[in-house]
Each structure stands twice: as structure tokens, then as C-alpha cells.
Structure 1
Amino acid sequence: MNIENIEAFVYINHYGSFNKAADVLYISQPTVTARIQSLERELDCRVFDRVGKQINLTDKGRQFLPYAQQILQVYQTGKHQVQSKGLVPDELRIGSTISVSNYLMPQLLVHLKTAYPNLNIKLTTAPTEVLIDKLKAKDIDLAFIRKVVNPAIQAYPFCEDPISLYVYEGHPLAQARRASIQDIRKETLVFFECGSLDWLRLHRVFESMEQPPDIVYQVDNLETAKKLVLRKAGIAFLPVLSVQEEVAAGTLTRVEIAETEGISLRTSLISLNGEYAGFIQTLLELGTGNPLNRLIV
């Protein structure tokens, strides 16, 4: 049985979408479909029911799922062991984008240090393109970046950070916690722009409106955008990980917008092929991008 077929099956079930599974596996949607068709021929049964855009496990698919997850977990663990380069180095150089540095790295580095007590860690924060160049030049060992497609680089889906609308304490929408995209067309909007394709999906939603929202502040720093909202200068679409403390404190409130559901920032953990497998496995234990891993809280 082809392990790639099992991988496609597990990821489609996790993400509920052939397209999304293809995205995180860095393959085309037709390739994902072909892998499922191959798996169904091997099992001699259908594993998914497709009704419109809805994808549900069949009874046989539900029966097979725990075995598929176990097979994939054993394979990935074995792969990491085989690819391991032996002795643990004294230093690990990690690169990350600014959002990962701000909101994930403190937890990740402590977790890594617990697993490798004698390890020294050097962190470099830079844009995705710079980090890829540094990895190729072997100036860093691992990196957390946005999506990359490069045959020399191994990418592991690590984290999906949903983008939602947040309003300040006392804002009229804070009570309802739910609104239509049309309800924000007269609001002052703070827009954090990082150049990612995920943010372009928001722009497309705005462009579909007869009267797009008034983007008064367009900033390239996530903390600046958040602090403008906290100062009641406007409201903003922000990644969930960036506002956990403020939501817990009640100073920011998430407002559900149906038209923007499903938009998220995706982060991958990358390395040169076959390198630092042990560290990668340790870090992936905290990731949300892999359906076999625990969630970051």
C-alpha cells in the first residue's frame, strides 16, 4: 500500500477539503484525487462521500482512519530516525518570520531546550525570502516561514493561524460577536498587510462588496495594528495567536464574519532535505499543521 495515498487520506479527513490537503502537502489537487482513487482501489471500497463541497468519511473510511493514522505516524517516526545525522550538535540556528518569533518562539524554544538540555539556540528573525536564502547558504539550520516550493527544501506543515475580525472593548459589534461583511463597510478599518496570499483573500472579499470598508490605517507590523485597535482607532482582521492575551483579558473581542471564515495564515517548518530530523520531530509535536500532532494552546 502506497504511504502517499494514506497520507492524502489522513490530511483530507483532517482539513475537510481536497484543495486544502493539496495545499499543505505541496501537491496539486488532481494528484490528491488520484491518490484517493488509488487507495480506494486498494481497499476495494469508497473512503469519502462527496456531496457538493462537503466531504465526509464513509463507514469504511471511518473504520480505516485509526489504522491509517497509526501507519503514517510509524512511518514518519521511522523516517526521522533513519534521516537523523547521529550526534546532537551543540548549537541549533533557527530562523523565523516576525509573527512566529513574537507569538510562538518563546513556547517552542523552551520545549526544544527541555528536550535537548545541552543545546544552545540562536534565533534569526527575517522575511520568508531572506530565510530561504539563509537556509540554502547554511547560515541557519531550520526556519519557520510561509509556503515554499523548492526541491532542495523539505517543508513540514506546522501551524494554521485563523484570521478573524477583532474589535475593542465597548465596540457595538462586541456584544453581538457576529456580523455580516456588509456590517463593517462604515467602520474604520486597520489593515495589517504582510504580503501573504492569505491576506489577498481578504482583499478579494472586500472587492466583492458594493461599498468596501474604509481602510484608514494600513500597516506592515502586527503589533502596531493590534495597538491601534486597543486604542479604539478602528477594528482589524488579525491572526488568533497574536491576540490570545487580549481576548483573555477582555480588551479585544472576536467577531464572527461568515464571508471570511476559513482564511488563515499558514506556517511551515523547513530544512534542507534530510537534515535535523530529530529537532524537527520535537518541534512538530507542538504544531497544528500536521493532523497527527498536538495543538498549540
Structure 2
Amino acid sequence: MFGFRDVEIVHAVVRAGGFRAAAQRLGLAQSAISARIAALEKRLGVRLFDRVGRQVRLSPAGRRFLEEADRLVHSRDRIVQEITQTSGLNGTVRIGVAETIVHTILTEMLKLLRREHAHVRFELSVDTSEQLAHKLVEDEIDVAILLRDLQPRDVVAAPLRPIELAWYASDRLPTPAAPLTLAELAAHPIVTFPKGTPPYKQVERLFAGSVGDAPILHGSASLSTVLHLVADQFGIGVLPCRMATSHQLGAADHIQQLKVEPRAAPEDLNFVVAYFPERNREAGRIISEAALEADQIDLL
């Protein structure tokens, strides 16, 4: 419909006050300027200029055209600036995270990144660590924060602090003073991480051969859903402690951590920030640094 050169010529005519003066400024023939404006008006189906003798001024349609066109020009300049930066982050950076990270360090990490890279777009993908590893290999994401044991080969991986898991129940559930045994835990419905994930398998192993009847395990891909189910007395659950004690999640105020015998305690989760250096060395380094800094905030 029109090009950026058309916008530049319209601007030149406005500033110069006429076609002849604009032609002189641009080093073009007046006939070329007149023909360009006439062709543009024909394509748009509107009159851009009102002619008053030798002077011209923008018509109402011309003013609207220039206002909207200027927005496009500014967008063009911003895009060029973003994608031609020689260092740091630019353009769109694709980050994949496990949901545990969403409820622990993600927000602080993104705040740190935005502070230093305000013009970068962050495209987030929340998935299981297994799927994140696949996406990283297939170049569907640039950086992944996933379980250490599921990181792909040949990545650079920066370890985060271990994330402690614990058993939780509604604060309305009466609990004994003594630590709960596996058999006592198994008497309740259990909600936890999605089926097939390492944390889910860990809960399965805790009860394998240790109690009479295996407990009913309910897996959910949404840890916030697990939190709400626990708070609403649907069952007891295994959750990351840093998530369960977060006051940003309202349901966290209505759960209690259960004291359990040592063999019933779930193991910590170990996450890494992973990326392929040949593809995303700079983005990987910057995001790893932000993740590591965010990971320390609650210790300060």
C-alpha cells in the first residue's frame, strides 16, 4: 500500500511547505515528488494535501496518515535497534521452566532481566523437565530451567540451590504430635506432581512395599492446583517448601507442614539452568546469572 520512502517524502513536503522545496531538499525532480504523492493518494483513495496556490498543507486525511505512519517508522527503528545489538540480549528470548520454578524464582529472575534488558521480549514455556529437555534439543527454546537429572547431553548447566520438598495438609486437619509414618500418610488421598515425573515416581517409591495397601496418588501438572486441593482438604500432598510458604499464594496461608518419620521424607529437587553454548552462549550466560541471583534473594 505504501512504503517508508513514501512517508519520508510526505514529511519532506510538509517541512518544506511545497513540492518544489521538498524536491530541492531531497535532490529529486519536482515532477518525481508530485508523481510519487499522486500515486500514493491514488493507492490510498484519499487526498493527502490541500493545494493553496503554490503552497500545500496536509488534509485531515493526510494528518491521520502521517500520525499512523510515524508509529510504523518508530516501530521499524526500534526493531532495527533491538536486533542489531552486538552484545547482551536482543529480540525475543525463549525460556522454558518447570512449574516449580514458576512458584519459586521466576518472577524475581524476570524482574532482574527486565531491569537490564528492558526492550527484550521473553517468551515463556512451562512444562515438565522431560519436555523441556526435548524442546531444548529441538531448538524450540533457548534456555531451560529443568531437573538436573534430565538435562540433555552437551549443555552448559548452572546448578541452583536444592529445592526442599515436604508433606503438607490443610491446617484444619488434626495431626498427632509424633511424626507420621508411611502407613499413616497412606491412609489419606495424596496429591502431588504430575504422573511420570521424577517427584511423582519418588512418592511412589516411598510407599512401594512399605505399607499394606498402596495409597491413591493424584498427579497434577499444576502445582497451584495441588496447593489448593491440599488447603481444601481433598488430600495431603508433597510440595516445594518455598512455594508452600509463599504468601503470594492465598491457599498457602491455610496449609500446615506435616512432621514425618525420616524414611517418609521426600528428597530435594535439583534444578539447573541449561543451554547449548553453540546456539545461545550469551543469552544462556545472562539468564543463568539472573537465575542464580534470584535464587539467593530469600537468603538475604
Normalising by structure 1, we get a TM-score of 0.59
Larger displacement relative to structure 2 (205-214 or 222-231) = 205-214
Q: 1:241 to 1:247 in 2, by over 3 A?
A: farther
**Structure 1 CA distance for aligned equivalents of residues 178 and 252 of structure 2:** 16
Residues 142 and 269, structure 1, Cα contact 8 Å, conserved in 2: yes
Q: In the alignment, what sits opposite 2:182?
A: 181
Residues 190 and 235, structure 2, Cα contact 8 Å, conserved in 1: yes
Rg bigger for which structure? 2
Query: Aligned pair 1:160/2:162, yes or no?
Result: yes
Alignment of 1:47-196 (within 5 A): 87-91=87-91, 92-147=93-148, 148-173=150-175, 176=177, 178-196=179-197
Residues 105 and 291, structure 2, Cα contact 8 Å, conserved in 1: no
Q: Aligned residues, how many?
A: 206
Q: Please give the root-mean-square deviation of Cα atoms over the aligned residues, in Å.
A: 3.0
SS at match of 2:162: strand
Query: Aligned pair 1:285/2:296, yes or no?
Result: no
Q: In the alignment, what sits opposite 1:204?
A: 205
Residues 113 and 287, structure 2, Cα contact 8 Å, conserved in 1: yes
More strand by percentage? 1
Q: 1:262 to 1:132 in 2, by over 3 A?
A: closer
SS at match of 1:182: helix
Give % identity: 18
SS at match of 2:275: strand
Deviations 1:11-34 (A, max 9, x none): xxxxxxxxxxxxxxxxxxxxxxxx
Q: CA deviation at 1:181?
A: 2.4
**Structure 2 CA distance for aligned equivalents of residues 278 and 249 of structure 1:** 32
Q: 1:126 to 1:192 in 2, by over 3 A?
A: closer
Q: In the alignment, what sits opposite 1:270?
A: 274
**Structure 2 CA distance for aligned equivalents of residues 149 and 126 of structure 1:** 14
Q: In the alignment, what sits opposite 2:64?
A: none
Q: 1:171 to 1:213 in 2, by over 3 A?
A: farther
Q: 1:267 to 1:226 in 2, by over 3 A?
A: same
Normalising by structure 2, we get a TM-score of 0.59
Point out where structure 1 has 5 or more consecutive residues left out of the alignment. Answer: 1-84, 288-293
